[in-house]
Amino acid sequence: MIKIITDSTSDISQEQAKELGITVLPLKVIFKDGEYEDGIDLQNDEFYNKLVNSDSLPSTSQLIPEQFIPLFEEAKNNQDSVVVITLSSYLSGTYQSAVIAKDMCEYDNIHIVDSLSVTLGLQILVREGVDLQKKGYSAEEIVKILETNKRKIHVFALVETLEYLKKGGRLSGVSALAGTILNIKPIVEVKNGKVDVAGKARGLTGAFSKMIKFIEQYGGMDTSKYYCLGYTGKKENLNAFLEYAKDKLDLKDGLISPIGSVVGTHAGPGVCGIAFYDIGVS
């Protein structure tokens, strides 16, 4: 049997994890009043209300080896294979924690994939892994395919402000200046495992137009594969993007995913984003 494990920055809920037959391990968000497990202790609405009303930015903590070890030991005892798919190693030590846990368990049939992505991008890679498992691929085959296909995944997001990313250390101060001008909407990209500003535009319409141009630069979306749209906090900006893009992109089969507290801590409310596999440029 193959066990698939990911982390909560995939924004796959615990209910969805049960449906998919996978395990989602929660990272933590730490406010002054305590620690909260991502996707478990706080509903999204509660978290974003807490975030905007907090006088200081909460911190987040990575998964530690001890969270992986019981699952790895169980797989070892049952002679199961394990495929772990984590958020980018450039954004968190979670990948390294999984590697350490594997070494501690001394079991070779554990395979760890650094997605080089996060949130919606990580989610579609995990869902591809689940599909491959259901089709009867071996753990080794699944990992080989995911390692190839992860390079085709792109994540773009419109953010209301870059201040959260800057304060959380996920973006340089120079880049953060792009979002301080009135009504300038920054667009960030997850590229090569890191988050950076892809561009900026005035107003929502300008930002949406630019996001679509970025998608087209990669040859467009491969709609035969998973693609996912997401939002932090309220859905107004995502709904506006869907309305703007309805005649420009084929989004009818896209997954819609609320983005949880760990990513939301660094992105802030009002984000709308999209993750997709590219068609490629010939």
Closest CA to 161 of 182, 144, 145: 182
| pLDDT, average across residues 66-76 | 98
Residue range(s) of every CATH 3.30.1180.10 domain in the chain:
152-277
pLDDT tens digits along 218-259: 999 999 999 999 999 989 999 999 999 999 999 998 999 999
**Most trustworthy range by pLDDT among 72-86, 168-182, 239-253:** 72-86
Topology of domain 152-277 in CATH is Hypothetical Protein Tm841; Chain: A;domain 3 (3.30.1180)
Q: Tell me: domain 2-150, CATH 3.40.50.10170, correct?
A: yes
CA 39 – CA 88 distance, rounded (Å): 19
pLDDT of residue 170: 52
pLDDT of residue 167: 64
pLDDT tens digits along 244-253: 999 999 999 8
Is the pLDDT at 174 greater than 50, yes or no? no
**DSSP run (H or E) holding 174:** helix 173-176
CA distances from 27 to 148, 208, 252 (A): 26, 31, 31
Residue range(s) of every CATH 3.40.50.10170 domain in the chain:
2-150
User: Exposed/middle/buried for 55, CB within 10 Å: 0-12, 13-18, 19+?
Assistant: exposed
Q: In the chain, pLDDT over 70 holds for what percent of residues?
A: 93
